[in-house]
């Protein structure tokens, strides 16, 4: 479904899946390039939050009708490339497109786990000449540093609130994703309470309790038996196969998380594999035995109607 139309009443929080693909091997399975890398947009009455910036996120944002400069907050679950490949582009395009008649006082906040400060430093180094040219001869204001504020969070074992202002509260908690510092998020607006998993292996962290009572969970998913079989047949390195299958959540376990959290809606994203030959019903059949609520197999540019569960 390529549906870029707003769901729900005017002013309601809108959630759009910008990219639904998981992993860093876009061509690993034939046709998987039809999905972009992991990214979710939440439009909370003009507060524009982007969770992760995988490959294609900047263009997907434009496709759904927004300018990068409208983004007020970027939340990063972890620094694997399939989640941050376009983070630098998102921030720099947000900064640059501020020249196009947008509010000159607009600023951007980036929140991420341990490692995000390195990403910030690397981005500024990689873009050093561009930034210098824009701030110098091109006289762009505010400066890149003044425009974007980066916050690095050591993944907390107990939930902490990182944003608390009218219309938006964001809490975060550590999720277990191998050795990678990783965050899950709970995003609460005036009309929506949403939990997002990022990447995690099931059962070794407190995400289900963290997500308890939310209107919906957006959760990563892997078809463990299928992926292990395909990768082993391709001769993939055992350490890589183990990372994929151990540090992501098998479909039946995703259902268990949603059941334990007591949510009415479960949205699957970060699909591994993301082969279009695997139809939605296969994912639903894998999750259904462990979750009785609504299951949504997300697609790029899909607007999620999550208020309907209220």
Residue ranges binding Zn ion (CB under 5 A): 22, 80, 82, 199
The kind and range of the H/E element at 125 are helix 116-126
CB of 70 vs Zn ion, minimal distance in Å: 25
Nearer to Zn ion, 80 or 186 (CB): 80
At CA 231, angle to CA 77 and CA 31, rounded to 5? 75
Which of helix, strand or coil describes residue 119? helix
Nearer to Zn ion, 98 or 184 (CB): 184
Task: Give residues with Cβ within 8 angstroms of 98, minimum separation 6.
Answer: 69, 104, 106, 147
CB of 94 vs Zn ion, minimal distance in Å: 23
CA atoms of 96 and 2, how far apart (whole Å): 28
CB of 271 vs Zn ion, minimal distance in Å: 10
Nearer to Zn ion, 18 or 44 (CB): 18
CB of 78 vs Zn ion, minimal distance in Å: 6
CA atoms of 290 and 203, how far apart (whole Å): 14
CB of 222 vs Zn ion, minimal distance in Å: 10
Written as one string, the DSSP assignment of 230-258 is HHHHHT--HHHHHHHHHSS-BHHHHHHHH
CA atoms of 66 and 201, how far apart (whole Å): 33
Nearer to Zn ion, 221 or 306 (CB): 221
Nearer to Zn ion, 77 or 96 (CB): 77
């Amino acid at each position: 479904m390529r549906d870029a139309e707003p769901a729900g009443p005017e002013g309601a929080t809108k959630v759009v899946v910008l990219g639904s693909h998981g992993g860093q091997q876009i061509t690993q399975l034939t046709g998987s390039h039809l999905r972009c890398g992991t990214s979710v947009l939440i439009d909370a009455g003009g507060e524009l939050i982007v969770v992760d910036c995988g490959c294609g996120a900047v263009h997907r944002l434009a496709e759904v009708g927004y300018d990068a400069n409208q983004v007020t907050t970027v939340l990063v679950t972890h620094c694997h490339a399939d989640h941050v490949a376009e983070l630098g582009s998102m921030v720099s395009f947000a900064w640059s497109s501020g020249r196009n008649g947008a509010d000159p006082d607009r600023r951007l906040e980036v929140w991420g786990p341990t490692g995000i400060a390195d990403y910030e430093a690397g981005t500024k180094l990689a873009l050093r000449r561009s930034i210098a040219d824009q701030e110098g001869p091109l006289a762009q204001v505010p400066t890149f540093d003044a425009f974007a504020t980066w916050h690095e969070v050591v993944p907390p074992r107990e939930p902490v609130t990182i944003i608390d202002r009218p219309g938006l509260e964001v809490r975060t908690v550590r999720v277990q994703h191998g050795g990678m510092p990783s965050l899950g998020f709970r995003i609460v607006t005036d009309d929506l309470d949403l939990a997002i998993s990022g990447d995690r292996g099931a059962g070794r962290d407190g995400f289900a309790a963290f997500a308890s009572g939310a209107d919906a969970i957006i959760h990563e998913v892997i078809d463990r038996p299928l992926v292990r079989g395909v990768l082993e047949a391709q001769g993939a390195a055992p350490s890589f196969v183990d990372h994929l299958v151990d540090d992501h959540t098998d479909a039946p376990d995703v259902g268990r998380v949603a059941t334990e959290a007591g949510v009415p809606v479960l949205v699957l994203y970060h699909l591994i594999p993301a082969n279009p030959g695997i139809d939605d019903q296969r994912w639903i059949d894998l999750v259904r035995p462990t979750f009785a609520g609504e299951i949504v197999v997300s697609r790029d540019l899909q607007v999620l109607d999550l208020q309907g569960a209220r």
